[in-house]
Structures are given as structure tokens and as C-alpha cells.
Amino acid sequence: MNMDDVFEKARVAMNAAAQKTEEVVAVSKLKLEAVKVNNEIKGMYEKLGREVYRAKDQKPHEDVVHSLCEEIDELRAKLEALDREMAELKKVVSCPSCGQKNPKENYYCMKCGAQLKETTGFDAEVAGEEAQQETAEND
Ligand SMILES: [Zn+2]
């Protein structure tokens, strides 16, 4: 093995690690955002409950109840979008050499052909699933 190969392998490995870190950071950010939105929704439910409770003694403020419900709908839509974004991030793997997003099951980049899965244990979960499927088929 010549030194260029060694450096190339090291470079690709470092890029892959950096990409993985970026992905983890992005997912953590989305998770944090989702927690925030969830708390906002909780707060809205509380306000809504208080407003409904008022109806015991006096007429409920229909417009307040209505606008609270609308805000909750908006927040829930936001939460769904965050969930979708997280699912997308978990489904793709970025190419270490060109940055192209590839489906996680790909072994090689569909844009530049670089190897996507060099580190062992990186996708142990997926590999385990595939093994199970094979066993099922052979049954
Ligand atoms: Zn690539």
C-alpha cells in the first residue's frame, strides 16, 4: 500500500466522521426544536383548559377558544414537519467525498461512486435486519 492510499483512506474516514457528526448535530437540533414546540402545545392546552373552565360560571370566550385551537393546529403541523425532517435525516447518508445525500442502504455514492460504508458496525442495525430477512426467505 503506498502512502497516497493511506492518506486517502484517512481523509475519507475523517470526512465520514465529520459528516456523521453533522448529521447527529442536525438531528439533535431538530429534537430540541420538537421538545420546544411540544412544550408550547402543552401551554396552549393549559390556556384552553382554563378558558373552558371559565364556562362553569360565565360564558366561554368563543373567539379565545377558537384562536387557541388554531394556534395548537399550527404548532402540531410544525411538529409533524420536524418529525418528517428527522426521519429524512435518519434515512440518508452523506457522501464523504462529494456530500451527495444517498439512501442509507447504498454502499456507493450514486453521484461520484465513493464508498459510503467503510467503518464496520456503522449500520449494524440495518445489517441485522437484512440478515433476518434472508433467514425468513430461506425458511
Ligand atoms: Zn459522492
pLDDT tens-digit readout, 42-101: 999 999 998 888 877 777 678 888 999 999 999 999 999 999 998 888 888 888 899 888
> Cα separation of 93 and 16, whole Å?
9
116 Cα to the center of ligand 1, angstroms: 8
101 Cα to the center of ligand 1, angstroms: 8
97 Cα to the center of ligand 1, angstroms: 5
What is the DSSP secondary structure assignment for residue 102, as one 8-state letter? E
Give the CA distances from residue 110 to residues 48, 63, 113, in Å, rounded to whole numbers and listed in that order: 50, 53, 6
15 Cα to the center of ligand 1, angstroms: 11
Distance of CA 59 to the CA centre of its chain: 44
> Cα separation of 90 and 101, whole Å?
11
pLDDT tens-digit readout, 97-125: 998 889 888 999 999 999 987 655 544 44
128 Cα to the center of ligand 1, angstroms: 25
User: Is the pTM here over 0.75, yes or no?
Assistant: no
33 Cα to the center of ligand 1, angstroms: 30
